[in-house]
Amino acid sequence: MIRPIDTSFTKILPLSSDEALQRRFMILDETIQANMRFGLLLEVLDKVAEETALCYVNRFFPEARVVTAAIDNIAIRHVTDMTRDVHFNARINHVGRSSLEIGIRVEQPGDPVRHIASCYFTMVARSGVGEGATSVVLPGLEYREEIEKQRAAKALKRREEYKQQQALLREPPSRDEFEMLTELHAAQDNPDFKGLLAGQLTAGAWERMYPEQENVPKKIFGGYLIRRAYELSSICCEQVAPNRPIPAAVNRINFFHPVRMGDKLHYTTRVVYTNGSLICVEANIERISRDRTTKALSNSCLFTFVNVDDQLQPQPVPQVYPTNYGEDARYLAAHRSCQALSNHRQLPGPVTAAELSED
Ligand code: GDP
């Protein structure tokens, strides 16, 4: 039987020796800290996850392909050093009926090794195209070593936690949460209120999908979509960040509906929540089919940024105020998601953010 270690896949970005590649990944043509385009990194991650999953799936089903279903949280541990190579070490952690969890450790070798992030992708194996596509049933992996068993167990736990979080969204807020929202509404009733209204902190964009972006037959490469969603989110975020917002975490990305060539895409990004130096931006992508008969939410993403100064020290961000029911719900969802991340020590608190730049 196949073990997780047999599914290992590594991709290297040779930033130290390939100047054109280094330039492609830079935000600015200057030597600033945190100069890596995180959106492009997401694109690479999605491709690495796809290749790792496909290698396994094609051993049994040569014609099958894989699609990204979700990206669980990604905590960014350190900023990337643009003069060092980036290694993506990927491996399958768990195989379910037709889904696979791929874990990817992103690091920069050297002394010491710089750990950039650990990411978890849920991929689904499919066969056939269009409406006739079906999920394929995959043979399982053998988890022999302790670490393999632990990673497989953690994959199941992540899935369970997400389900629980979703179920919680349909529940009324707790007493503390209700009080938090009541205070935010009461502040807006004050005649001298000058706060930032969440409803006004948005950015949108439209785009048509061309054959250039084709990945699996007739579908659009998911990595491209999330890169675009991230880049618009970072622009949106600048409406509230007094300094420079840099990515701190991906709370969650869901892929609901595939995007096809000829589709029109409507990206909507909104600042939904702030807390201390953190800013949460939600990005949704709606697809409209070429014949304009189908409209569906294809992706939803929640990104957390941290507002930092030139030395990467976290700086405070103003409070944002939700006004209507939808904004309250989004505020609360982001609040809970950030709490879950900080409970797992995955969000920069005052101390860990200061370590972002540390070698
Ligand atoms: P963990 O998931 O809690 O063990 O966190 P890590 O940061 O150690 O690793 C993240 C993911 O990257 C793991 O779940 C593995 O799927 C994958 N991974 C970790 N180390 C390696 C490695 O040495 N080689 C390969 N190919 N993949 C790795």
Confidence at 100, pLDDT banded by 50, 70, 90: very high
* 286 close to 266: Cβ distance less than 8 angstroms: yes
Residue 358 has pLDDT above 90, yes or no: no
Residue 250 has pLDDT above 60, yes or no: yes
**Number of independent structural domains in the chain:** 2
Residue 297 has pLDDT above 70, yes or no: yes
Q: Which of 8-12, 133-137, 305-309 has the lowest mean pLDDT?
A: 133-137
Mean pLDDT, rounded, for 91-108: 97
**Pair 246, 328 in one domain:** yes
**Pair 347, 310 in one domain:** yes
**Pair 194, 140 in one domain:** no
Give 313's contacts (C-beta < 8 A, 6+ positions apart): 353, 354
| Binding site membership of 55 for ligand 1 (Cβ less than 6 Å) | no
**Pair 140, 196 in one domain:** no
| Atom 13 in ligand 1: residue holding the nearest Cα | 103
Give the model's pLDDT for residue 78. Answer: 95
Give the model's pLDDT for residue 345. Answer: 66
| Atom 5 in ligand 1: residue holding the nearest Cα | 118
Mean pLDDT of the chain: 93
Q: Give 328 Cα–ligand 1 centroid separation in angstroms.
A: 37
| Atom 25 in ligand 1: residue holding the nearest Cα | 89
**Pair 1, 86 in one domain:** yes
Report strand pairing: 320-321 vs 196-197.
parallel
For residue 136, being part of any structural domain is answered with yes
Mean pLDDT, rounded, for 236-256: 96
* The last residue of a domain, from among 160, 187, 217: 160
| Binding site membership of 243 for ligand 1 (Cβ less than 6 Å) | no
pTM for this structure?
Answer: 0.94
Mean pLDDT, rounded, for 71-94: 96
User: Domain of 41: which CATH number?
Assistant: 3.10.129.10
DSSP characters for 217-270? TTBB-HHHHHHHHHHHHHHHHTTT-SSEEEEEEEEEEEE-S--BTT-EEEEEEE
Give the model's pLDDT for residue 350. Answer: 42
**Pair 113, 181 in one domain:** no
pLDDT tens, residue by residue, 255-270 = 998 888 899 999 999 9
Mean pLDDT, rounded, for 199-221: 88
For residue 165, being part of any structural domain is answered with no
Give 280's contacts (C-beta < 8 A, 6+ positions apart): 251, 271, 272, 273, 274, 302, 303, 304, 305, 334, 337, 338
**Pair 117, 63 in one domain:** yes
Residue 351 has pLDDT above 90, yes or no: no
Q: Bigger pLDDT: 170 or 76? A: 76
Give the model's pLDDT for residue 213. Answer: 83
* Amino acid letter for position 202: T
| Atom 14 in ligand 1: residue holding the nearest Cα | 103
For residue 248, being part of any structural domain is answered with yes
| Binding site membership of 91 for ligand 1 (Cβ less than 6 Å) | yes
DSSP state of 82: T
Mean pLDDT, rounded, for 100-119: 97
Residue 70 belongs to domain spanning: 1-144+152-160
* Amino acid letter for position 276: G
Residue 87 has pLDDT above 50, yes or no: yes
| Binding site membership of 151 for ligand 1 (Cβ less than 6 Å) | yes
Nearest Cα to Cα of residue 46 among 120, 114, 109: 120
Residue 359 has pLDDT above 90, yes or no: no
Give the model's pLDDT for residue 257. Answer: 87
| Atom 11 in ligand 1: residue holding the nearest Cα | 103
Q: Which of 18-27, 95-104, 157-166 has the lowest mean pLDDT?
A: 157-166
For residue 271, being part of any structural domain is answered with yes
For residue 112, being part of any structural domain is answered with yes
pLDDT tens, residue by residue, 306-349 = 999 999 999 999 999 999 999 999 999 999 999 988 887 666 65
Share of the chain above pLDDT 70, in %: 96
Give the model's pLDDT for residue 347. Answer: 67
